[in-house]
Structure 1
Amino acid sequence: MPDEGQNTLLKHFRGLEAKWCKSQLVTPLLTAINAKSSSNQAEGEPTALAEKDVAQCRWQWRDEELVLLAQKAIWRPSSQDLFVADLHLGKAEVFQACGIPLPSDDDRGTLQRLRNLCLKWKPKRVIILGDLIHGPLGLTQRLQADLRDLHIRLNAEVLLIGGNHDRHLQPSAFPQHPAFRLGNLWLSHEPEQPMDGREGLNLCGHIHPTTTLRQGSDRLRLPCFAYDSMEQRILIPAFGELTGGHDCRHRYRKWLVAEGTIVPWFDPAQSSRGSKVKW
């Protein structure tokens, strides 16, 4: 549960977001979630949220429609694929082996959240964009059993794009795939340009994108989706419960995740500097 200072900052953040969305600084973003995208919608612009449904945000990139979820995942309706990244299962056990006492329940929470997502969206396939595990010391017998049965628990095909932490995962235990194309999407763990020479939107993990909100001496770091229009890339926040984050600054368009809510975020510092970054 957030403490009093965090609650105060969240209220401040939501108030500012509402103010900015109603101003001419950004496109008004609070419309019905099920409204169809307008024919003259700018590339990379989100279809905004209704205030009654702030746990998801539809986003259009060319012919690709994606739904950004407050559970730190992306849903692709056309193929019924669910994308997550950076679960880092077994991280607590890796730290414990190094003498750092951490509770071991985070994996259960991470896997249960993933299962809940699958129960709601019923994907045909769950695509993990790398770093399913954290390291070999975390591959306990319980975790290995969980991984063997993961497709059964999720009632979906599970496909892993190998990340830098997954190199210790034996292919026989969990097959890994290289980056690949899916329609107009290029799916990878680390940020990269499509390797087939064709243009596409890069969906990736690895970075663990976050944004830090500031009010006086208070600081609150929140996970976010971060879109880079220059590189045609969207970074997915880390799905795991025991993960850090990298502060994505003013180059990105961001959607912040807090308390089951996803909020399109305009950075006032970018406007004050007169940034020319294309949003």
Structure 2
Amino acid sequence: MDERDVEGPRVLRYAAFSAVPEGGNPAGVVLDAAGMDDAAMLAVAARVGYSETAFVTPPPEGLAAPEGRGFTLRFFSPVAEVPFCGHATVATAAALAARTGPGELVFATPAGTVPVSVAGTEAGGPRVTLGSVAPHTEDIAGADVAPFLDALGWRPQELDASLPPRIAYAGARHLVLAAATRERLARLSYDFDRLRALMLARDLTTLQLVWRDTRDATVFHVRDPFPVGGVVEDPATGAAAAALGGYLRELGLVPDDARLTLHQGVELGRPSELTVELRQGDTRVYVSGAAVPIG
């Protein structure tokens, strides 16, 4: 669905990482943002009210991309610009494919160059795969983790020791905290202002709260508080999924070739499914999912 906002450009609305519009993470997409300045983009994102809205402008000179399939892409939450957003990238790729057909796309983002592939059409929408920028992780001391746990209302003994806390990056920074049980992950009630302040001090985009399924080590359930974007929780977070894939590979917790399934948004009533793929010899992390118009 697309809509001419009362005081702004045409905004497309897509649900990413879902084959139905009632699931996944909603994103706004402005396919022609040429001439818009930062204030105008932020104002549109605030009116749309989703966790992120993506803005497409012509590509920078020298971007290596198929003819007519390279673009600049920026992302704004209702309160600030973010360096990279996976679900809004997926939504933008689906919106562009609706006009130009499936195939390869290349986005120049503030975090770096992101290649995207749009393959055919699944039930309800195309399958979009993005390749992250090079991921890495940073150690974080236990004393620095403690305030985050306190803001979440989690106790140290409720963490999974096999998945240690780390700051993981694949275009944006996320603190990975692993719950020892599914029940701990399911109970999320936190101090919004305190967690926001802690995250801003560490330049974090979200917390990537995870539980690894004891029945299948390739399946994870995840939740992502996003107070720095003015949002209590994200129902699907592609950037954090990519960061988690890089974290798991760097710590040797999955094989160099791995295909993982992440379930998110269940507690919010917007179930999402994200596929994370690691390829031997390739530094990128690949995140894929469906995307459909909201209408």
| Short-chain TM bin | 0.3 to 0.5
| Bigger Cα Rg | 1
Normalising by the residue count of structure 2, what TM-score does the alignment of the two structures yield? 0.31
Higher relative contact order structure (alpha carbons within 8 Å, sequence separation ≥ 6): 2
Normalising by the residue count of structure 1, what TM-score does the alignment of the two structures yield? 0.32
